[in-house]
Amino acid sequence: MRFLLIEDNRQLAEAVVDRLKLDGHVVDHAGDLETAWDFAATTDYDLILLDIMLPDGDGRSFLARHRERQSRTPVIVLTARSEVSDRVGILDLGADDYMIKPIDFSELEARCRAVLRRRGGAARNLIALGDASFDSLSGTLKVAGKDIQLRTRELRLFEVFSAAPGQIFSKSALVDRLFSYDEEVSENAIEVYVGRLRRHLQGSSVKITTVRGLGYKLELA
């Protein structure tokens, strides 16, 4: 998954980025609103983590404008404000969740998973896909009664496919979701990971098919 972190505290930002990268996520960091808008204008994100007090404005203005544009990308607000009225105002502006600083990283990870599940219409980490199942928390794919532990890139790629069965993803879009700007990778890397997932799915009704000239999609037979 690709996240946008908007946070001006560099020490906190680096800690959040490092923690989320350990889970295999791609995280772009913006230290101000201007940079955040540049990122948001050119990249599709799965989740935005938004600070309120920023050097060039209030994060709530970003949130309000983000929702005015009809963007469905979920937003978790990171705030030092603990008053109930502040939290209510943040939620009413369109935030999907909030966390009060100082942040516990385990809780942040859990809240990210919960928000992403809700976006995908799931209440639990376990997703049924035909005669297979996928646990995004443990990174386990169950096929024909066998548990298969997915590696980090395989896990994040399968999350993309399983969240939108039938949707076609181009190779370039998948590269964008799995790799950061400073990683030099070719679209051939996607072919490698798709090939691995296909081998894992053998014996199930779940297929990752190639749509010639367009990309890949997950199908349930």
Can you give the CATH number for the domain in which 167 is found? 1.10.10.10
Q: 76 and 45 in contact (C-beta within 8 Å)? A: no
Residue 48 lies in a domain: yes
For 12-66, write each residue's pLDDT tens digit.
999 999 999 988 899 999 999 999 999 999 898 999 999 999 999 999 999 999 9
For 107-157, write each residue's pLDDT tens digit.
999 999 889 888 766 556 788 898 999 998 889 999 988 999 999 999 999
**The pLDDT value given to residue 183:** 81
Q: How far apart are CA 61 and CA 69, in angstroms?
A: 12
Region 71-84 average pLDDT = 88
**The pLDDT value given to residue 196:** 97
Residue 177 lies in a domain: yes
Asked whether residue 35 falls in the same domain as residue 115, the answer is yes
**The pLDDT value given to residue 121:** 62
Asked whether residue 90 falls in the same domain as residue 39, the answer is yes
At residue 72 the predicted structure's pLDDT band, cuts being 50, 70 and 90, is confident
Residue 145 lies in a domain: no
Percent of the chain beyond pLDDT 70? Answer: 98
Q: No. of H helices and E strands in the chain? A: 8, 13
Asked whether residue 83 falls in the same domain as residue 192, the answer is no
Q: How far apart are CA 147 and CA 149, in angstroms?
A: 7
Q: How confident is the prediction for the chain on average, in pLDDT?
A: 91
Q: How far apart are CA 90 and CA 167, in angstroms?
A: 32
CATH code: domain of residue 41: 3.40.50.2300
**The pLDDT value given to residue 95:** 94
**The pLDDT value given to residue 120:** 66
What is the residue range of 50's domain?
Answer: 2-119
**The pLDDT value given to residue 126:** 84
Asked whether residue 164 falls in the same domain as residue 58, the answer is no
Asked whether residue 115 falls in the same domain as residue 7, the answer is yes
Q: 73 and 47 in contact (C-beta within 8 Å)? A: yes
Residue 130 lies in a domain: no
pLDDT at 168 over 90: yes
Asked whether residue 16 falls in the same domain as residue 93, the answer is yes
